[in-house]
């Protein structure tokens, strides 16, 4: 039986469980429940508690629509609820003397889905390798990312910053060193990492950053954000203000979140609207006090913070496949709409045809262009704008029974980053087998995970930093990994001045 123990935080003691030498403490509040009188306000400190709070099971995630991920058993929360601004800690040694490196994981999900505590985000393997792992929740959808004016903006990002402040004040009690904190995340979490680099309020709260499949150009200005706010409010029959939305029941705002998401993506892509290429209407809002500029424009304002970042080879492959399966008759029109939205002229088409991937055919061309427009080019632009050291990678592995450069899709790297293929095998079901096959490479999982651990521990993932004047080194993670100079050279040049 796991042994129950407790650690005292600034607000009270919390229990946890120990198993095989690793300790896990769950459902720890870093801020008060953000609803009722606190709804649409910046995060507030939690109330202190007496006794020992039960931290042996996960607390509720932020209210959200169901069914956000095909691998729901791996990445979806068990419950949702109002007391959601909590985090969990995995540690090999919960003693102040340990002074271990710390990673803080910001989950993905398009600012609409997800949580910090599902099985696929377990911090067990990081703790196994001597790193304290913190997984956080934050507000999502309408309650976290609907723009309601200064002071009521970027609330999900403010939650993330509040969690990082909690880490600075409390992580030593769990064996972590607050001067050795690395933030990391994938997809919406990767975007969040990039945005935290740009947030003035987060300076000094972390010393390293890892962004998987993020987009440095995903923010919008207040005018575009208000367009979405007005649409949402109209659908709910209320004014597009804090006062108009504050008393709308959570079940209605959750449904409205999903409606806004599907409308924004489906209708926009069908019409060839480039605003819909990033799929989610919920974004960080720049030109605000919280987020003055986007990550590329603010590069250099988080001095001394190294960055490890990269993408998968075919970020959009699974989405395009899903569109084809769900609406086979509409798929050709969607592909043409995508090409129109991407503004792919002859120069860009030729770059893909003659580049390393030798991309031909409308479907493959749209997938490659969408991947680069949404992820790879914005990632490269951020790396090239930063004066601090940055390391670039491309995760290229896919099952060997499909054509090359076709199936290393969005999120395929998640279990590799955690060296946790066993959990995929256990909980992934038929979808997991279809994505990863029956024998995914354990050695690659160990190698990719080691880069995360080494970066968090030593500030260096193990290959040369990216330098646009010195080779543009990129680490390719595959069954046989390699180092490639300027892996996206032809495409990068073709997108110059356009993305």
Catalytic annotation, residues: 187, 315, 410
The packing angle between helices 250-262 and 222-236, to 10°, is 120
Q: Quote the radius of gyration of the chain (alpha carbons, Å).
A: 22
**Phi/psi at 73 (5° precision):** -65, -25
CA 46 – CA 82 distance, rounded (Å):
13
Burial 199-212 (b: 16+ CB within 10 A, else e): bebbbebbbbbbbb
Contacts of 155 (CB under 8 A, 6+ apart): 34, 40, 41, 42, 43, 139, 143, 144, 145
Structural tokens at position 98: 């340990």
Question: Rounded to whole angstroms, what are the CA distances from 314 to 50, 93, 439, 464, 467?
Answer: 50, 39, 21, 24, 24
CA 385 – CA 11 distance, rounded (Å):
40
Upper half-sphere CA count for residue 463 (Cβ side, 13 Å): 26
Contact 111, 195 (CB under 8 A): no
CA 60 – CA 22 distance, rounded (Å):
23
Torsion on CA atoms 374, 380, 386, 392, rounded to nearest 10:
120
Which of 390, 338, 343 shows the shortest CA–CA distance to 364? 338
Which of 263, 378, 246, 387 shows the shortest CA–CA distance to 310? 378
Contacts of 335 (CB under 8 A, 6+ apart): 320, 362, 363, 366
Burial, 86: exposed, middle or buried (Cβ in 10 Å; 0-12, 13-18, 19+)? buried
Which of 329, 328, 334 shows the shortest CA–CA distance to 316? 334
The packing angle between helices 317-326 and 362-371, to 10°, is 130
Q: E-assigned strands of 10-99?
A: 12-19, 22-29, 52-53, 86-91
Burial, 487: exposed, middle or buried (Cβ in 10 Å; 0-12, 13-18, 19+)? buried
Residue whose pair of structure tokens reads 């990863």 in the numeric block: 436
Burial 13-44 (b: 16+ CB within 10 A, else e): ebbbbeeeebbbbbbbbbbbbbbeebbbbbbe
């Amino acid at each position: 039986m796991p042994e129950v123990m407790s650690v005292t935080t600034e607000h009270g003691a919390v229990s946890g469980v120990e198993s095989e030498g690793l300790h896990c403490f769950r459902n720890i509040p870093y801020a008060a429940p953000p609803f009722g009188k606190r709804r649409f306000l910046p995060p507030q400190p939690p109330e202190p508690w007496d006794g020992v709070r039960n931290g042996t099971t996960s607390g509720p995630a932020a209210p959200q629509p169901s069914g956000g991920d095909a691998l729901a058993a791996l990445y979806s929360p068990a419950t949702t609820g109002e007391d959601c601004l909590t985090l969990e800690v995995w540690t090999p040694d919960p003693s102040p003397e340990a002074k271990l490196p710390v990673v803080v994981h910001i989950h993905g999900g398009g600012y609409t889905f997800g949580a910090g505590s599902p099985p696929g985000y377990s911090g067990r393997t990081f703790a196994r390798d001597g790193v304290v792992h913190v997984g956080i929740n934050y507000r999502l959808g309408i309650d976290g990312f609907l723009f309601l004016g200064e002071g009521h903006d970027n609330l999900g990002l403010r939650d993330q910053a509040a969690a990082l402040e909690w880490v600075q004040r409390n992580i030593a009690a769990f064996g972590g060193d607050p001067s050795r904190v690395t933030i990391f995340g994938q997809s919406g979490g990767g975007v969040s990492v990039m945005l935290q680099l740009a947030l003035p309020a987060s300076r000094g709260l972390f010393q390293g950053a890892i962004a998987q499949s993020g987009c440095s150009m995903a923010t919008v200005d207040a005018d575009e954000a208000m367009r979405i706010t007005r649409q949402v409010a109209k659908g709910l029959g209320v004014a597009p203000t804090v006062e108009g939305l504050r008393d709308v029941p959570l079940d209605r705002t959750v449904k409205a979140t999903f409606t806004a998401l599907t409308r924004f993506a489906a209708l926009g892509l069908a019409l060839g609207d480039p605003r819909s290429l990033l799929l989610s209407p919920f974004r960080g809002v720049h030109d605000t006090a919280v987020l003055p500029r986007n990550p590329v424009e603010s590069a250099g304002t988080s001095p001394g913070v190294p960055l490890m970042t990269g993408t998968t080879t075919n970020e959009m492959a699974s989405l395009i496949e899903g569109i084809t399966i769900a609406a086979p008759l509409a798929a050709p029109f969607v592909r043409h709409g995508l090409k129109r939205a991407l503004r792919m002229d002859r120069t860009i088409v030729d770059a893909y045809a003659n580049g390393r991937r030798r991309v031909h055919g409308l479907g493959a061309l749209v997938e490659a262009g969408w991947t680069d427009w949404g992820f790879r080019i914005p990632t490269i632009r951020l790396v090239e704008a930063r004066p601090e050291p940055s390391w670039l990678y491309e995760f290229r592995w896919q099952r060997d029974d499909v054509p090359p450069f076709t199936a290393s899709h969005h999120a395929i790297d998640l279990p590799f980053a955690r060296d946790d293929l066993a959990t995929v095998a256990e909980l992934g079901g038929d979808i997991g087998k279809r994505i990863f096959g029956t024998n995914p490479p354990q050695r690659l999982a160990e190698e990719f995970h080691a880069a995360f651990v080494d970066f968090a521990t030593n500030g260096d993932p193990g290959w040369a930093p990216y330098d646009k004047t010195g080779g543009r080194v990129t680490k390719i993670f595959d069954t046989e990994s390699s180092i490639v100079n300027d892996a996206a050279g032809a495409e990068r040049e073709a997108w110059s001045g356009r993305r």
